[in-house]
Amino acid sequence: MQQLRQLGFAAASLTVLSIASPGHAELAGASDSRVEFEASGPAGLKLTGSTTELKASEVSGNVVVTVALGNLSTGISLRDQHMREKYLEVPKFPVTTLTVARSALNLPAPGQKTEGDVQGTLSLHGQTRPVTVHYDSKAEGGAFVTHGKFHVNMNDFGITVPVYLGVTVKPDVDVTASFKVTGN
């Protein structure tokens, strides 16, 4: 479960990266943020979790999206505790980050929408791996409203696959994020 949450944060990070502001204006931050993850198991089991704790910044030509994992929630407190402490090891790895080269982003003109895939680097659970993020972004009133999604395998990041009462979650997790970013 915690692995799933980490993946969700990574997705949020990728999404934020994809909506940097146009031109050379620096990224000013993210609002209206939501990061979600979904994992599955046997017999139609679906586990979902979310957080709104996403920050975006621009560093050395890269968009960096950071998601704090401490408040990732599935709606069940015991499951959240296990996810944070046993699987994601939040005290040891409190955040996940996604880094994308700003030059790789296809930013829309005012009133327009763009869609594409971008390569980035996801740091999660002490591991850093390449990821491909699919995103769409719309320019609205000086801001970009963006949605992104990607897929993560917990095994690739050294996250133990959750097992509870003999039910094992699949290691593949889908992560989505949505947010609004402005430039200054």
**CB-CB contact of 27 with 21 (8 Å):** yes
- Residue 153: domain span: 2-183
Write out pLDDT tens, residues 113-135.
999 999 999 999 999 999 999 99
Model confidence, pTM: 0.81
pLDDT at 59: 86
Look up residue 37 and give its DSSP letter.
E
Number of domains in the chain: 1
Quickly state the pLDDT bin for 27 (edges 50, 70, 90): low
Angstrom distance (rounded) from CA 19 to CA 116: 11
pLDDT at 14: 41
Quickly state the pLDDT bin for 28 (edges 50, 70, 90): low
The CATH number of whichever domain residue 149 belongs to comes to: 2.40.128.110
